[in-house]
Chains A and B, each alone.
Chain A
Amino acid sequence: EAGVTQFPSHSVIEKGQTVTLRCDPISGHDNLYWYRRVMGKEIKFLLHFVKESKQDESGMPNNRFLAERTGGTYSTLKVQPAELEDSGVYFCASSAWTGTYEQYFGPGTRLTVT
């Protein structure tokens, strides 16, 4: 069974540019989460989808961040315009709707804003 995949693995952009990160969850997982780790800090929650519906986006830093999950499969996280403080590793995780709900993580996208 394929795990959570993320694309790209690394992105380097200039301040003011736009970047779109993609996450493909484990097939059949309705729950999809985005997290972020900035330098030297712990991993922090950004938002949660159930299928295509946003359940909680309380961790989104500001309105420069936009997440979508059209069709309830893969998700995108767009940062527009990017700022220096957006640099970090963006993780996606997915979990099943039933059972023990443990979250499985993708390898992350390292975003560097220069």
Chain B
Amino acid sequence: EDKVVQSPLSLVVHEGDTVTLNCSYEVTNFRSLLWYKQEKKAPTFLFMLTSSGIEKKSGRLSSILDKKELFSILNITATQTGDSAVYLCAVEQRGGGATNKLIFGTGTLLAVQP
């Protein structure tokens, strides 16, 4: 069965800390891996990773994919209280026809304390 596993389930840090969130997967017909940030409502898109070893960066956030070991990490440096959210990892599965559906992990709840 296809699955995406995120760890840790939750994490509490202080402002300024660096955190690493993990995502491992076993998904057939892999197309890409995506990270989303969910604060209150809509999951907001962070990164899409398709190739191994190429780091994607956006400000204090960065992510990398290892397609051989089937995992990805999301790093957040110099955390701020505004980084508090649930971080979702999803693997895009290439399906029949035109469908590329997302298979989600349960998320990592990050709380950044002042």
Give me the interface of A with B, judged by CB distance under 8 Å. Answer: 3-4, 31, 33, 35, 41-45, 48, 50, 55-56, 59, 91, 93, 100-108
Contacts and interface: CB of A to CB of B under 8 A. Distances in A.
Contact of B48 (A41, A45, A55, A100): A100
Contacts of B88: 43
A33 B101 contact: yes
Contacts of B105: 42
Interface of B: 4, 34, 36, 41-45, 48, 88, 90, 92, 95-107
23 contacts: A3-B42, A4-B42, A33-B101, A41-B106, A42-B4, A42-B104, A43-B104, A45-B102, A45-B103, A48-B101, A55-B98, A55-B99, A59-B101, A91-B43, A100-B48, A101-B100, A103-B34, A103-B45, A103-B102, A105-B42, A105-B43, A108-B41, A108-B42
Contacts, number: 58
Nearest to B34: A102
A56 B106 contact: no
Nearest to A9: B41
B42 A106 contact: yes
Given A108-B41, A108-B42, A44 B104 contact: yes
Contacts of B34: 102-103
A103 B95 CA distance: 15
A38 to B, nearest CB: 12
B42 A107 contact: yes
A105 to B, nearest CB: 5
The 6 lowest CB-CB distance pairs between A and B, nearest first, are A107-B41, A56-B99, A45-B101, A43-B104, A107-B42, A48-B99
Nearest to A43: B104
Given A4-B42, A106-B42, A42 B101 contact: no
A43 B100 CA distance: 15
A48 B99 CA distance: 7
Contacts of B42: 3-4, 91, 105-108
